[in-house]
Amino acid sequence: MDLRSLSDSQQAVRLVYKGMRPSQSAARDPDYAGLIARYDADPAFRTQVSLHAAMLDLAVVDATPMQIMLRPSCAESLFRITLAQTRGSHAVRNSGLFALALVAVGAAFYRSGTDLAGTGAGLQMTVEQIEEILTDLCERIAAGDGAGDPPDAGEDAAETWRVIRAMARTGEGEGRAGFSNRTAIVRQAVNALLDHNMLREDRAGAVASYLPTERLRVQMGEVLASQLYRSCIGLLGMQKGTGENAHA
């Protein structure tokens, strides 16, 4: 498509369209790169993009040279992602397990505003290292250890922590989608974030490791405001992870 043949309004719609595809990158799409450059340089064009996004119940969160990032602007948005829509279509019973695994993934990379302000260089974790963080979190919640009492998230959440603590670390179903053990749960969470371009896989080593993308950093800026997440991070402390890929 020749962008020069499009009106300003049509170009704004085109940029919103590209932003609705999380895996799309301007590095592989010259038109996308041109639209982002215009968005960055032209305030009037930025306003048009925001208005078109708002008509779809979307809001522009951020824009980098590689992507524009959108999020649903209301709970009724058709583009709102729920746990049931992520890879594997989890039963209601398993949603709590999956949510706590997502907390562990976030905690592997970002525990404070200082972390979010960094460049992200050197952040890299394996599934096994994230599983250790999940296990540590559940143990600390059970013990009431850390900064204050366990997060006040109700009896359902307490049941989730008990279920995860009782699970084996690994098992026969480890390599497949499922909730048969803690490693499988973490793998589900990692797969969901890969699907939404929030993690990038690195297979250079003997074991696959995962790096956060700019999209995850932006998302975590909102998650850090959550009382539940802050309580969990308080229990874990500020030191992130274990193993050779961990960082202080």
Write the DSSP string, 7-48: -HHHHHHHHHHHHT-TT--GGG-HHHHHHHHHHHH-HHHHHH
Torsion sign over Cα 77, 193, 235, 117: negative
Domains, the chain, ranges and CATH?
Answer: 3-72 (no CATH), 83-236 (1.10.10)
Among residues 190, 193, 129, 135, which one has the least CA distance to residue 163? 135
Instruction: In whole angstroms, give the CA distance from residue 244 to residue 226.
Output: 29
The tens-digit pLDDT sequence of the chain (248 residues) is: 788 889 999 999 999 999 988 778 888 899 999 999 999 999 999 999 999 999 999 989 888 888 898 888 887 777 665 544 444 444 444 666 777 788 888 888 887 777 777 655 567 899 999 999 888 888 887 776 544 344 444 445 556 777 777 787 776 444 444 567 888 888 888 888 888 888 888 888 788 999 888 778 877 777 766 666 777 767 776 555 433 443 33
Which residues does 80 contact at the CB level (< 8 Å), separation at least 6?
72
The whole-number pLDDT of residue 83 equals 43
The whole-number pLDDT of residue 24 equals 83
Beta strands 209-212 and 199-202, pairing class: antiparallel
The whole-number pLDDT of residue 80 equals 62
The structure tokens listed for 86 are 């992520």
**147 touches 137 (CB < 8 A):** no
The structure tokens listed for 29 are 């799409």
DSSP 12-23: HHHHHHHHT-TT
